């Protein structure tokens, strides 16, 4: 049993080092590399397990001394050495703190509305059933926000593989349009799908669905009544272009570059109950698949989201 625990702990330690986001290595007494994280192997030249670590790496840059944590295991002295640049951790912490603050801010609004609805429902003479339905909508928005945050985190930590197999595009777009038909009708938005049904994308079905669904939901929420959205795909030879084009109210041109930022909303969309992460997820999936994404349009001229992917192929 002790041997099993020891083996499990060793395996666990190996995974922790391997998957660390830091540039970290394990050195023995002679400064030979015992283990190194994936990021360390990808970032540092001359780093080989079982061989001495290049002395220049231990000297650091600009007088910076790498952080070393000595320890002893089975009578052997080793060191855990962090070789990240001085600003790396600070930059990561700043990004993490900013993202946490943004999520907290976005959660406060539906939580405050939910609390107000529940308190109102306790008052005599109020429509408890109607208030409960509105409260349920607030809970649903909170769930969507949490789901989007978790999915985006999954993408950023690399746990979600984006490009794994070929997916037929048009049938999946049609399925997404059918799934959103009811919510589109409530918003008075017409959905249409166009494109060559033989085109495939080098994208997992789940990832393509997330892209198409977020593009469609963005139009349903923001295009405005009596508008139409077309989801289309075409091949240009060297690439495959997925477009979401609506003829709705559009956004100001200066807002276009910022639409893919987390939680960013153009002025006309600030009252929406969207999570503010949909287009950020679209951009992350597309760029992870080797593609690019951009927004075109203007106030009163509708909105086009253009996703350009490397060409995958065409079925016979």
CA neighbor of 242 nearest in space, from 306, 175, 178, 304? 306
Please check whether residue 174 is in contact with residue 193, taking contact to mean a CB–CB distance below 8 angstroms.
yes
Q: What's the predicted TM-score (pTM) here? A: 0.54
| β-pairing verdict for 24-27 and 33-36 | antiparallel
Please check whether residue 36 is in contact with residue 64, taking contact to mean a CB–CB distance below 8 angstroms.
no
Region 17-42: what's the mean pLDDT? 82
Between 316 and 20, whose confidence is greater? 20
CA neighbor of 212 nearest in space, from 307, 287, 302? 307
* pLDDT tens column, 131-164: 888 888 778 777 766 766 666 666 655 555 566 6
Between 192 and 18, whose confidence is greater? 192
**pLDDT surpasses 90 at 219:** yes
Burial of residue 21 (CB within 10 Å: 0-12, 13-18, 19+) is: middle
CATH of 89-156, one of 1.10.760.10, 1.10.287.130, 3.20.20.70, 2.60.40.2550: 1.10.287.130
Q: Which fold has domain 166-314?
A: Heat Shock Protein 90 (3.30.565)
Helix (H, G, I), strand (E, B) or coil at 153: helix
**Residue 119: what pLDDT?**
86
**Residue 1: what pLDDT?**
47
CA neighbor of 312 nearest in space, from 200, 196, 172? 200
- What is the Cα–Cα distance from 35 to 12, expressed in whole angstroms? 13
DSSP state of 32: B
What would the two tokens of residue 152 be? 């985006």
* pLDDT tens column, 293-304: 999 998 889 999
**Residue 265: what pLDDT?**
58
The helix or strand, by DSSP H or E, that contains position 210, with its residue range, turns out to be helix 205-222
| β-pairing verdict for 227-235 and 189-195 | parallel
**Residue 294: what pLDDT?**
93
**pLDDT surpasses 60 at 269:** no
DSSP state of 240: E
* pLDDT tens column, 225-236: 999 999 999 998
**pLDDT surpasses 50 at 270:** no
Highest mean pLDDT among 44-53, 89-98, 142-151, 295-304: 295-304
**pLDDT surpasses 80 at 250:** yes
Q: What are the boundaries of each domain within the chain? A: 2-84, 89-156, 166-314
Q: Do domains 2-84 and 166-314 have the same CATH topology?
A: no
Region 18-23: what's the mean pLDDT? 72
**Residue 48: what pLDDT?**
83
**pLDDT surpasses 90 at 54:** no
Range with lowest mean pLDDT among 174-183, 198-207, 228-237, 256-265: 256-265
Architecture of domain 2-84: 2-Layer Sandwich (3.30)
| β-pairing verdict for 189-195 and 166-168 | unpaired
> What percent of the chain has pLDDT above 70?
72
Region 269-275: what's the mean pLDDT? 48
Rg of the Cα atoms in the chain: 25
């Amino acid at each position: 049993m002790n041997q099993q625990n020891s083996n499990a702990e060793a395996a666990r330690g190996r995974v922790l080092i391997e998957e660390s986001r830091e540039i970290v290595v394990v050195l023995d007494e002679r400064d030979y590399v015992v283990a190194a994280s994936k990021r360390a192997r990808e970032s540092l030249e001359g780093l080989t397990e079982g061989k001495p670590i290049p002395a220049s790496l231990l000297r650091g840059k600009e007088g910076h001394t790498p952080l070393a944590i000595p320890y002893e295991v089975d009578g052997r002295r080793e060191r855990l050495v962090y070789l990240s640049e001085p600003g790396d951790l600070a930059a990561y912490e700043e990004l993490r703190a900013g993202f946490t603050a943004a999520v907290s801010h976005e959660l406060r609004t539906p939580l405050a509305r939910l609390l107000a609805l529940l308190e109102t429902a306790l008052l005599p003479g109020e429509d408890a059933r109607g208030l409960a339905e509105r409260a349920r909508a607030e809970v649903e928005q909170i769930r969507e926000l949490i789901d989007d945050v978790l999915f985006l985190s999954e993408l950023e930590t690399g746990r979600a593989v984006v490009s794994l197999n070929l997916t037929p595009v048009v049938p999946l777009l049609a399925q997404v349009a059918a799934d959103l038909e009811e919510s589109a009708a409530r918003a008075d938005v017409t959905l249409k799908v166009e494109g060559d049904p033989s085109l495939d994308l080098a994208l997992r079905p789940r990832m393509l669905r997330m892209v198409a669904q977020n593009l469609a939901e963005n139009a349903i929420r923001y295009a405005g009544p009596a508008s139409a959205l077309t989801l289309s795909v075409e091949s240009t030879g060297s690439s495959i272009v997925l477009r979401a084009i609506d003829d709705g109210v559009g956004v100001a041109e200066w807002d276009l570059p910022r639409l893919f930022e987390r939680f960013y909303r153009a002025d006309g969309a600030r009252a929406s109950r969207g999570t503010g992460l949909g287009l950020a997820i679209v951009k992350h999936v597309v760029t992870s698949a080797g593609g690019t994404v951009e927004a075109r349009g203007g106030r009163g001229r509708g909105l086009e989201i253009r996703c350009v992917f490397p060409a995958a192929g065409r079925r016979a």
